[in-house]
Amino acid sequence: MPPALAPASVLLRTPAGLGDTPLQDTLQRERARGILISYPDRKAVRCAITQGGVHHLVGDHDPWSLLPLADHVIAAPQDELSLLAAAGGRQVHDAATDMPIDIEAARARFLRLIDAFEYADPFDGQEIDVIGWISILERWRTEIDGNRSIARVAGISRWKSGALRQLLWSDQPPKLTSSSQVAEMPAGKSIALWPSRAPKNLLRRAAEAGVAVTRIEDGFIRSIGLGAFLVPPCSIVVDRTGIYYDPEQPSQLERILSETAFSAALLRRADALIGALVQGGVTKYAAGTASLVLPEASRRILVPGQVEDDQSVRFGAAGVSGNLDLLRRARLAEPDAWIAYRPHPDVASGLRKGRIDDKDALRYADAVITAGAISDLLDQVDGVHVLTSLAGFEALLRGREVFTHGQPFYAGWGLTRDLGLPIARRRRRLTLFELVAGTLILYPRYLDPVTRLPCPPEVLVRRHIALPRPRPGLLSQLRRYQGKAQLLGDRLARAFG
């Protein structure tokens, strides 16, 4: 990425073996502002020096960042910069002769160069055409450009840091920071934070210092395994506006869903993605494995429990006081239905807050189900009652009736029966394909757990279906024992309390 430079009339690239003087003479003759790029001494440090309107860039620089700065390019005919400029129809001169380069000949040379190679999909090795390869590079480039503004990150657990470095991939990876270092941030850069773990005074210090804040959170197809067992994420969202689970302010996801003109191709892609998710039994934490058959009933309802101190519950509960209150409300709304309560797996493992005794749950539910995959449950019920759980979104993918008692990101678009407080900003009526395109394709970032490369959601879904759950490491095993000890402690406390 070059230093910040003003637009120029002429962009010059010094061919190997040709000194800078002829090119500087050209600049002086044309009396133009210009950029001079010299091939670097390999020991030289990349730098930019301005002398009399001539910018000397020493080192290798991205041509796509340079081309928009100038109207006229002077370089060797075989130079990458010449080929790219000519392909874009820009005026190009030969640096050695100062004569115009034949643009059509340069374009033909460019096409021959492209056709000289075979291209393979980096995720499965299958042959693809050059357009497919360019689409992959475009996606990577978009992510890298989006990451360049992030200079520091905060609130990141050590066991997540490796995955975060890959998901925030750029030429200068962000550094971990503390709230005391906010005032030292480079001008024009932002700090990215994981809201639930960020230092309490960081947001205040960032506001006082005029530093922009970017929020990071798990994506909706997260990983093959639970976060509570320290399985790193394969998907995150990077939101510069708000965050999807906080209905008090607009988020980037809400803006996408409100404003995007969804193309027919994108909607077809969303349709295919829904099919892959449903057929593969894929949910947030991987593909389903165990099966479970529910009893016959005229109407079967699932109530998924949540981690009660989860950020989405804290911000979007809309007056619901917890899992037991959610169950009570579901029974009031469905007095004659057969209701199953499904505790959140992190809560059932004893690692997170929100556990309710089975006897209390069975005051409102007909069964408490902890076994089996939630995708299997969603396939068998008629509807779900949720607070803010992602299970409500996953139920929509399966064509189930969804009742929201809180304010999840998928409520308010005309696809759910919303029993909680309405969100006035959400006026647009969406189709399911539009909701999925915005939520799973346009908003998150994904990392292929096999190649460790940024990937589209379709690749991660295939990995979820094909890959086994990872074997637990030492920290993960310790977390399991911690959860079991917590559950035992709770039972003893109830028994002798």
Domains for the chain: give ranges and CATH numbers. 8-115 (3.40.50.2000), 285-427 (3.40.50.2000)
Mean pLDDT of the chain: 82
Q: 228 versus 235: which is more confidently predicted?
A: 235
pLDDT confidence band for 340 (50 / 70 / 90): very high
Residues in the chain: 497
> Which of 93-102, 305-314, 326-335 is the least confident region?
93-102
pLDDT in tens, 184-193: 777 778 888 8
CA-derived radius of gyration, the chain: 28
Amino acid letter, residue 54: V
pLDDT confidence band for 43 (50 / 70 / 90): very low
Mean per-residue pLDDT for 379-393? 96
Mean per-residue pLDDT for 200-220? 86
> Which of 177-181, 233-237, 245-249, 489-493 is the least confident region?
489-493
Query: What span, in angstroms and rounded, lies between the C-alpha atoms of 388 and 409?
Result: 8
Backbone angles phi, psi at 343, to 5 degrees: -65, 150
pLDDT in tens, 438-447: 999 999 999 9
pLDDT confidence band for 339 (50 / 70 / 90): very high
Q: What is the pLDDT of residue 205?
A: 83
In 3D, which of 61, 9, 25, 67 has the Cα closest to residue 40? 61
Mean per-residue pLDDT for 231-259? 93
Q: What is the pLDDT of residue 42?
A: 44
Kindly tell me if the per-residue pLDDT of 181 is higher than 80: no
Which runs of consecutive H residues, i.e. helices, occur in 148-184? 158-167
Q: What is the pLDDT of residue 486?
A: 54
Q: What is the pLDDT of residue 97?
A: 79
Using DSSP's 3-state secondary structure scheme, residue 269 falls into helix
pLDDT confidence band for 478 (50 / 70 / 90): very low
Whole-model pTM?
0.81
Query: What span, in angstroms and rounded, lies between the C-alpha atoms of 116 and 119?
Result: 10
Q: What is the pLDDT of residue 489?
A: 54
Kindly tell me if the per-residue pLDDT of 148 is higher than 90: no
Q: What is the pLDDT of residue 490?
A: 57
Mean per-residue pLDDT for 24-45? 56
DSSP assignment letter at 360: H
Specify the residue for token string 């960020």: 198
Q: What is the pLDDT of residue 476?
A: 46
Q: Token digits for 472?
A: 């637990």
> Which of 34-48, 218-232, 456-470 is the least confident region?
34-48
Kindly tell me if the per-residue pLDDT of 487 is higher than 70: no
Q: What is the pLDDT of residue 186?
A: 76
pLDDT confidence band for 462 (50 / 70 / 90): very high
> Which of 137-151, 163-177, 414-428 is the least confident region?
163-177
Kindly tell me if the per-residue pLDDT of 230 is higher than 60: no
Backbone angles phi, psi at 396, to 5 degrees: -60, -40
The answer to whether 188 and 4 have CB atoms below 8 angstroms apart is no
Q: What is the pLDDT of residue 228?
A: 42
Annotate 160-193 with b (16+ C-beta within 10 A) or e (fewer): beebbebbbbbeeebeebebeebeebeeeebbbb
